[in-house]
Amino acid sequence: MMQPPLSPAQRPAVSRSLARVPSLTSLYVQALTPRVDTVTRLASRLRRDAPHATVEHRSLPEVTYVVDGVRGDPVEVARYCTVVGAARSEVMPAGYVHVLAFPVAMALMVSAQFPLPVAGMVHVANSVEVARPVLVGETLTVAAWARNLAEHAKGTQVDLVTEVSVQGEVVWRGVSTYLAKGTFLRGRGEVRTPDPFVPPFPTGSWSLPASLGRDYAAVSGDRNPIHLSALTAKPFGFPSAIAHGMYTSARALAEADPLVGDRFRWTVTFAKPVLLPGRVSVAITPHGEGRQGAEYVGWNPKNGTLHFRGDITALDE
C-alpha cells in the first residue's frame, strides 16, 4: 500500500539554491569565527558591565535554502549504522537522513542574516517525522529554514526545519531546537523548574568510550569541538568531551527498531550532557503490542541525572 507523504510545512517563499550540501567542517570554522556584529555586541556588554544585557529585536531570515540531487552513499550509511548500532539495509536510518540534511540548515545559521551566534549554541530538542522509508541511493531534495524565534530564561530559542523530498513529495521532516545562551532577542522567558526525574528500571546500559565523539563526528561530519576531546571541549566549559545528542537519540532509536513501523514520529529532549568516557543507563518502554513505538530515557547510573528522554510513535496513515 502506498504511504501518503507529509504535508509540506509553511516555509519562507524566497528560496536560495545551493550547488551542493556544504561541508559541516567549513561551516563550523565560520561559526567559530566571530562576526562583526557579535564582537560589537560583546564589547557593548562589557562597557555596561552587563553580561546578559538585552539586545535589540531582530528577526529570522525569510529565506529557504534548497539543495537538489542529494544522495546517501552506501559506504557512509554503513559506517553510520556501525557507530550507532543500527541494522544495515537498503533503508537509510532516520538519523542518517538528519546527517544528510542538517548541513543545509547549518549554512543558514552561519549566514550574515541569522541573528544568533552559532558558537556555543545548545541543541535542546529534536523532532523527526518519517512518512516512509528513505532508501539508500534515492535522489533527494533538501530544504531548510528557520522559524519560532522565542524568548527563554537563559537566552533565545529557535527552530531549524529541514524537509527531505522525493519527486516533490515530503518523506522526512526534522525540527531541531537550539538555545543561544546569553543572547536575549525577545526578552527573558520565565524560569521553569523541570519535574523531578525518578529513574525507571533500566532495560540496558551503554559504556561510551572517550573516542565516541570522534567516531560519531567521522560518520556525521559534526566536528563541533565540544565532542572531540577534553582539550577542545574545556574552552566551552566542559571538563571533557561530551557525546553528540543525536548519537544518543539515534542509538535509542536503533535499539527500539523492532517496535517501530515505517511511518513514525521520533522526538527527543536533551538534559544534562553525557561526559566521555561514561556510562548511561537506558530504559525503552514499548507503546503496547506490535510496532507502535516506544518511550525511551537515558540517565547517569551513579547519580540519577537525566541525560535525555524521547518518544517514538506511529504516524496515522
* CA Rg value for the chain: 19
Question: Which CA distances in Å does 25 have to 21, 103, 225, 300?
Answer: 12, 9, 10, 30
For 62, residues 6+ apart whose C-beta sits below 8 A from its C-beta are 12, 13, 14
32-56: average pLDDT: 48
pLDDT at residue number 300:
98
Q: How far is it, in rounded angstroms, from Cα 7 to Cα 31?
A: 32
Residue with cell 537538489: 68
pLDDT at residue number 48:
40
Domains of the chain plus CATH, in order, are 1-192 (3.10.129.10), 197-317 (3.10.129.10)
Cell of 198: 525518578
pLDDT digits (tens, 9 = 90+) for 200-209: 999 999 999 9
30-54: average pLDDT: 51
300-310: average pLDDT: 97
pLDDT exceeds 60 at position 39: no
* One-letter identity of residue 138: E
Q: How many CB atoms lie within 10 A of CB 123?
A: 16
pLDDT exceeds 60 at position 53: no
pLDDT at residue number 55:
45
Percent of the chain at pLDDT > 70 equals: 91
pLDDT digits (tens, 9 = 90+) for 142-186: 999 999 999 899 899 999 999 999 999 999 999 999 999 888 887
pLDDT exceeds 50 at position 229: yes
Nearest of 41, 46, 39 to residue 184 by alpha carbon: 41
| Pairing verdict, β 155-166 and 122-130 | unpaired
Residue with cell 554503513: 78
pLDDT band at residue 250 under the 50/70/90 scheme:
very high
Cell of 226: 565540544
8 A C-beta contact, residue 86 and residue 129 = no
Nearest of 63, 67, 71, 69 to residue 18 by alpha carbon: 67
pLDDT at residue number 213:
96
pLDDT at residue number 128:
98
Q: How far is it, in rounded angstroms, from Cα 106 to Cα 124?
A: 16
pLDDT at residue number 50:
40
Q: How far is it, in rounded angstroms, from Cα 133 to Cα 293?
A: 15
Nearest of 185, 195, 208 to residue 85 by alpha carbon: 208
pLDDT exceeds 60 at position 29: yes
Nearest of 205, 204, 211 to residue 277 by alpha carbon: 211
8 A C-beta contact, residue 56 and residue 41 = no
Q: How far is it, in rounded angstroms, from Cα 20 to Cα 65?
A: 11
Is 47 or 281 the better-scoring residue by pLDDT? 281
Phi, psi of 38 (to 5 degrees): -70, -45
Residue with cell 561559526: 31
pLDDT digits (tens, 9 = 90+) for 135-153: 999 999 999 999 999 989 9
Buried b (16+ CB within 10 A) or exposed e, 271-288: bebbbbebebbbbbeeee
Mean pLDDT score of the chain: 90
pLDDT exceeds 60 at position 24: yes
pTM of the model: 0.89
Q: Which of 111-125, 223-237, 300-314 has the highest mean pLDDT?
A: 300-314
pLDDT at residue number 35:
57
